[in-house]
Every structure is written in C-alpha cells, then in structure tokens.
Structure 1
Amino acid sequence: MPRFIAISTISRLAVAFICAGTFATPGLAGMTQDLADCTAADRKASADACTRVMNSGRLPKNQLYIGHFNRGSAHFHAGSYDKALSDFDKSIDYNPGYADTYYKRALVQHERGDRERSLADLDRYLEKRGEIAEAHINRARLFRRRGELNQAFSELQKASALDPGEIKAQILRALVLSDLGEQGPARLEAEKAVTAGADNADAYYARATVAFREASYAAALTDIEKALSLKAAFPAALMLRGRIEEQQGEKDKAAASFKKVLEGAPKSLDARAAQDDARARLTTLEPLAVVAPVSNPAPQSQSRSEPAASVARVSECRRFIPSAQTTVAVECPK
C-alpha cells in the first residue's frame, strides 16, 4: 500500500534545490531536514515540512504533486481527512497520471463515509496500476460496509488469487463468511489466519467473532484477550467482550468495555461499527450517560456502518441494513 513518495523520488527535489542555489545558504540543514520529514507521513513535522518545501519557491511546478501527495499522506495519518482530501485533489490536478494518489484519496473518502467516490478512485487506481491485491481488499471492505457481502467476497477471492499469502484477505474472508451465516467455512478461514499470523490481533478477533456467533463464549473470550494483548486499543475486540459480559449479566463490566470501545483507534478493523454499537448499548445500559461522538464523523447523508460482531445472519430473501445493524425480509427475485 502506498504511504508516501520515497526518499529516492523526493531526493530529486533536493537536486532541484541544489541546482537553484538554495543549499548554498545557511538554511542547508533545515531544508535537508524538511525534505526528509516530508517523505515520512508518520512524523508530526511532516505536513509543515512539506508546506515549507512547497512554499520555498524553488520547487519546479512539475514536482508539486509530490509535495501535495506527501502532505496529504501526513494529514491522513493524523486523521485530518478534509485537509488530506484537499491535498490529494491538488496532487491529481498537477499530475493526473500518478496512480498512487487515487489509492490514497480512496482511503480518505472511505474514512469520510463517501463510499461511492472511494470505489471510483480504487477503480482508477486498478486501471492505471493493473491488478493489485491491496486494492481489491479495500474494495471488499467498502462492499462489506454497504452490506453487499457477496460482492465483498468476490473481491477477496480476487485478492487471494493475486497474493495467496495475503493474511488481510484471509481475515476478511472469514468475517464475510460469518456475516453471511456460513460459520463452518468462516471458522476454517479464521483458523488459517491465526496459523499464518500468530501475532496478528485481527486474526484472533476474526476467530473470536465466529465463536461468538456460535455461542462458544469461552473460546471467544480466549481469542478476544489474545487480540487485546496484541493490540490494546482494539474497539471491535472490546465490543465483543462487552457483548459477552452483557449476556452473562455483568452489566457494569459490559459498560466499562463499551466505554473503552469509544477510546480506541477508529481506523482499526470494524472499529466504526463497533463504536456505533457501543453507543447504542451504553444508551440502553446507562440511559443518562453522555456518549462522546466519533472524531471526524462521516457525513450523515453518506454514513454507512460496517457489520458489527453482533450482526444477525444474512440468508436468502433477506437484506442487511447497515444503518440499523440488522436484516429484514425482502421480496425474493422472480
């Protein structure tokens, strides 16, 4: 998955600065550091460094897309999705042929709740780069959030054909099969994922989800605790734990787990659905509690929730409604 334009690429910017005489000044060390920071999206200084590079006046116009791409990546990493979207739009304006910008913009639109535009950008990315497993995995996530489970599974099959060892596809395949009510096949997929990724919290969460839906609560709790030992701020795993505690009559423990769900990382697997579900459960358990909203909420008109761990099974002639977290009977096709 593209994160930023690498040093080997942006080092060409340094060449441009050197040729223009910029590095003949006392600002050499500062500009060298800015160029380094601008290529590292996870540094706090990254966005400001990219801004200084672009505002220096020495950067050739045909390389401005690099600065906007890297600054957009830094904003995305920090959770500033509107700023990230603006930078990716500008990067594409400067260089519409750079495929990775469409991929990163798709991720931003995914987080903002704009599923249709996210899918469109992933399509553009695939058109420009060819078949990439990671893009199909992200398409699967989008389809799953929309409740289009068969389409999600098809995307995961494509991803696995392209990269048979891709564990993210295995994990999502287990969850989608479980969403569809196919717990036996889902369990087998989850077992494969745990075997392949013994230190992967998502794999244990997937297996716990299947166990939870099979009412095997002891097994589910064992995997939940393992997942949380690997990734403490894991909203979906905390949500599963809270649901089991609630079913066992431990309402205080359940409420504490649901509150921790709201403190977790919103980008992790099934996080937003878990946080929506936690708010609903806290409203039931603690009617007077004030539940904090999610940061960077998706636009109401576009918001769709990912199926939570407590979703009912989807069967023929029924339809999953993400906003209600349930399935309803529908007229069967003639």
Structure 2
Amino acid sequence: MTSFDTPPSRASRNAFAGLALAALLPLAACQTATNPATDLSRIDTAQGSAENIGSLSAVIQRTPNEPEAYNMRGAAYGRAGRYQDALKDFDKAISLNPRSPNTYANRALIHRYMGNNQQALADYNQAISLDPNYDTAYIGRAEIYRLSGRSADALADLERAIHLDTTDPRAYYRRGLLYQGSGQHQFAIEDFAKSISLSPDAPYGYNGRGLSYLAQGDDENAFSDFNTAIRLNDDLAESWANQALVYEKRGDKEKAAKSYARALQLDPEYMPARDGLARTRL
C-alpha cells in the first residue's frame, strides 16, 4: 500500500530545497466510512498492471451494472497513468451509483493529476457532502488548497481529517509542509514524525523532517533523515539534493557536487540541484 497518492510536484520540491537553501545562503553566499480497498489513493501501484486491468474488465463483462467494478478498474487505470480511461470508468460508476463518496474522491484525484483543479474541487466537495466524515476527501481537497496558496483552508481540512482520527500519513505530512512553509519547524518536525510512524517505508516524511531539522541548525539529524530517504528510494532527486545541502554546509564541496550531480542525473530540470552544482563544482 502506498503512503502518498503522488510524489511532491516539482514546485513543491523546489520549495523544500529553497527553504533549506535560505538557511545556507550566508554560508554559500484512515479510517473512513467507505471501502479503502477501492480508494485510488491507497491502491498499490502493482494494481495498475495490465493483468489486473484485464481481470477487472472480465468482471465488468460479467456484471456490467456493478458500479464498484468500474470504480476498481478506474483506480487501476489511474495507477497505470491511463487517466482518460480512468475518468470514463469513474463517470460510469457515478452514473450507476451517484451517492458513492469514494468514487467522487477517486475521480477528483485523477482530475488533480490532469491539472483540472476546479473539477477536482467540485468532486471533493460532493464526496464531503455525501459523507462529512470522509477523511480522504478532506486530505485531497486540502492539497488543492495548499497548492493554490489557500493555506488556511488547507490547514482547516487537514485538521478536520486528523480530528476524525485518520490513519492516512498524508494528513500529517501535508500539515507538516504547511507548518514548514510558515517557519514553524518544531510543529513540522512533529507532524513529519507522525507521518513516518504511519508509513515508515516512504521517503517523503524523512525529507520533510530533515529540511526542518536543517533549518533549525540540527545538521546531524537532518543528514540522518536524508540518508534514510535515499536508502528507502535512491531514485528521488530531492533526497540527493538535500544530502548535498548538508555536505555543502559542512564545507565538503566535492561530496556536495557529487550528490547534486546525482540529483540532476535523476531529474535534469530540478533547479535546486542545478544551482547547487553550479556553486560546488570544483
């Protein structure tokens, strides 16, 4: 089961590193009422396989009026990146059962992936109107608010989800990002720690917490978190760039340059790594 519906956007990742770089400038000069098994944000990536989609298509052939079958296949299409096919299946599921908050939340997530934020917001609102205790919908809507700069609305939705005793790590992770963005690093560290406890194999909480540690001047804990993030997934550019920040702050430009170079190899458009390499290349 994945912990986050999608990795942070490039804009979000640039913000993470930008926050840590600001500290370096002087030196550098669920618990829900619906079935979680059909919640796209919680379905394992493997469930987007052609084999699984084929199996779900066979189910639909046998029971063409079963809305959950379309919801499940839509989720699988979503995990496979087949967003238009996913939308068609969610539309069909909603036509068969217009009172499923889970299906609206799943369709909302696909709309968000496609950049259709207004449609996503409308679907999250509908999911919440059908089930005011649906934590996943609050968490999803909060992300739209957060990315559009509506931090107060995002915080309110995340706190609503947490008040509902959600076990979804995204609620704490994203609230941690809001605290981090406003400079409340101790609160951010506590939320990132909670997200890590709920999903210890996901690297994002470690990267987030590490940046707040770094902003507080706690290089050792920051370095430990960044290295853990790399150990969990060594294909994330931000983890290597974050590690490089610590090397750079310690004055080890050679190691910093190597880590920045690795980050750029993974994501040639990742500006914090590009800028960092320009500063540290010997």
- TM-score normalised by structure 2 residue count: 0.69
User: Looking at CA atoms only, which structure, 1 or 2, has the larger radius of gyration?
Assistant: 1
How much is the aligned-residue C-alpha RMSD, in angstroms?
3.1
More helix by share: 2
- Render the CA deviation track for 1:197-251: whole Å, top value 9, x for unaligned: 6555333222112123335444222101112323344454334234445665333
Match of 1:282 in 2: 274
- Identify the residue that residue 121 of structure 2 maps to in structure 1: 119
Query: Are 1:50 and 2:63 counterparts?
Result: no
> What is the rounded CA distance, in whole Å, between the counterparts of 1:208 and 1:197 in structure 2?
16
CA displacement, residues 70-128 of structure 1 (integer Å, 9 cap, x when unaligned): 22111111122222122212322333233321111011112112222112111111111
After superposition, the C-alpha distances for 1:266-301 in whole angstroms (9 at most, x for unaligned) are xxxxxxxxx86x157438858xxxxxxxxxxxxxxx
Q: 1:19 maps to what in 2? A: none
Q: Within 5 Å, which residues of 2 pair with 1:146-157?
A: 146-157=148-159
Letter in 1 for 2:177: L
Quote the Cα distance in structure 2 between the aligned partners of 1:193 and 1:59. 39
Residues 11-38 of structure 1: per-residue CA shift (max 9 Å, x gap): xxxxxxxxxxxxxxxxxxxxxxxxxxxx
Deviates more, 1:127-136 or 1:44-53: 44-53
Equivalent residue letter for 1:258: L
Give the aligned partner of residue 260 of structure 2: 254
Structure 1 pair 153–235 and aligned structure 2 pair: CA distance change class (3 A): farther
* Displacement of 1:49: 3.1
Q: Residue 89 of structure 1: which of 83, 86, 91 is its match?
A: 91
Which residue of the partner structure matches residue 4 of structure 1? 38
Structure 1 residues 283 and 231, CA gap change in structure 2 (3 angstroms): closer
- Write out aligned runs for 1:3-82 (5 A): 3-4=37-38, 41-54=47-60, 56=61, 59-60=63-64, 62-63=65-66, 65-82=67-84
After TM superposition, the structure 1 = structure 2 runs for residues 150-189 of structure 1, keeping only pairs within 5 Å, are 150-163=152-165, 166-189=168-191
User: Higher mean Cα deviation, 154-163 or 84-93?
Assistant: 84-93
Structure 1 41/189 Cα, relative in aligned 2: closer, same or farther at 3 Å?
closer
SS of equivalent residue, structure 1 residue 45: helix
Deviations 1:45-82 (A, max 9, x none): 1223333444x4x545x32x334322211111112222
Partner of 1:131: 133
Quick one: higher RCO (CA 8 Å, sep 6+), 1 or 2? 2
State the AA in 2 paired with 1:253.
Answer: S
Q: Which runs of 5+ in 1 are unaligned?
A: 6-39, 263-274, 287-334
The answer to which of 239-248 and 152-161 deviates more is: 239-248
Structure 2 unaligned runs (5+)? 1-34, 40-45
Question: Where do residues 302-321 of structure 1 align in structure 2 (5 Å cutoff)?
Answer: none
With the length of structure 1 as denominator, give the TM-score of the two structures. Answer: 0.60
Equivalent pairs: percent with the same residue?
A: 24
Structure 1 counterpart of 2:274, one-letter code = L
Q: 1:127 to 1:229 in 2, by over 3 A?
A: same
How many residues align? The count is: 234
The amino acid of 1:4's aligned partner reads T
Query: Mean alpha-carbon deviation: is it higher for 234-243 or for 97-106?
Result: 234-243
